[in-house]
Amino acid sequence: MKRSVCILFLVLLLFSSVSTLGFVSSADDLGIGDRAGQFEQGVENVESNVKGITDTSKWNEKWDYLAKEWKAMLLKNPIIKTADSFFTSISKVFKFVFGVPYSMSLVLFGIIFLWLVFLLEMGRIFSVFEKTQDFAYLISAVLAVILANLKVFEYLSLLIGRFIFSSESIFGRFISLCLVIGGVFLLSYLVGFIVKLIKKDIKKQKKEEDDLDRWTFKKFLEGYRKRI
């Protein structure tokens, strides 16, 4: 009996060894090893691209260069030059409100744009509720200032810049800019949709409360008449 078990064990061991050798041979024939190498290379490329997107220092430099060229052109206008001097004198206000000191840069303009979008859209949401509708935009502004000082808008501004300027062609940048603007309109539409749902829910809840009040008052009158 023990001999039979040993023979069976040896047969299974031999079969597994042959199967393993056959699989390795087939893998080499099919180029699986090469494909595995290509897969690893693809993963490294993806990681490199992700790092390029999140590497804000690279785009800070690029935006600074573009801003210098843009600033030199704009400052030739005396009105813009006067405005630039004034905003520079109140740079601390920009630091408090937008989280960064004033500078005529695309990054700051991106931050201000995102700040205003957040202010308007969140204000629409808060204005729906009865308890916050009188201070909707004030609450929204306070939240915007907090997020700005947490560098949320700055980071998003740099990511958007990375997306727009990733293309070397003017047409590609134009398409990217259109997509960003389209995204803002889509966000506004979604907020409007959410506001409608909230209003509908509040209206339904108010109707249920009114119906309950009428039913309670009706029952009170019926009880009062019976007592009389």
Has residue 85 got a pLDDT over 50?
yes
- Segment 47-75, tens digit of pLDDT: 555 454 445 455 555 556 666 777 778 77
Tell me 151's DSSP state: T
CB atoms within 10 A of CB 83: 14
- Amino acid at site 121: E
What pLDDT was estimated at residue 42? 53
CB within 8 A of 170, min separation 6: which ones? none
Give the mean pLDDT of 199-216: 74
Domain ranges of the chain: 56-227
Q: Kindly state the tokens that stand for 94.
A: 């920009």
Tell me what pLDDT residue 179 has: 92
Per-residue pLDDT at 113? 94
Output the pLDDT for position 89: 93
Helices 91-98 and 136-149 meet at what angle, rounded to 10? Answer: 100
- In this prediction, residue 213 has a pLDDT band, given cuts at 50, 70 and 90, of low
Q: How far apart are CA 207 and CA 12, in angstroms?
A: 76
Q: Are 123 and 137 in contact (CB under 8 A)?
A: yes
Q: Please give the residue that has the higher pLDDT: either 103 or 186.
A: 186
Q: How many beta carbons lie within 10 A of that of residue 201, not counting itself? A: 11
| Closest C-alpha among 117, 98, 118 to residue 107 | 98
pLDDT of 100 above 70: yes
Q: Read off the tokens for 23.
A: 């699989």
Measured CA to CA, the distance from residue 115 to residue 154 in angstroms comes to 10
Model pLDDT, residue 70: 73
**How many Å apart are CA 84 and CA 67, to the nearest integer?**
13
Q: How far apart are CA 76 and CA 55, in angstroms?
A: 33
pLDDT, tens only, 161-192: 888 877 778 888 889 889 999 999 999 999 99
Burial (CB < 10 A; 0-12, 13-18, 19+), residue 74, is: middle
Taking residue 106's Cβ as centre, other Cβ atoms within 10 Å add up to: 21
- Eight-class DSSP state of 76: T
DSSP 98-150: HSS---S-HHHHHHHHHHHHHHHHHHHHHTTSTTTGGGHHHHHHHHHHHHHHT
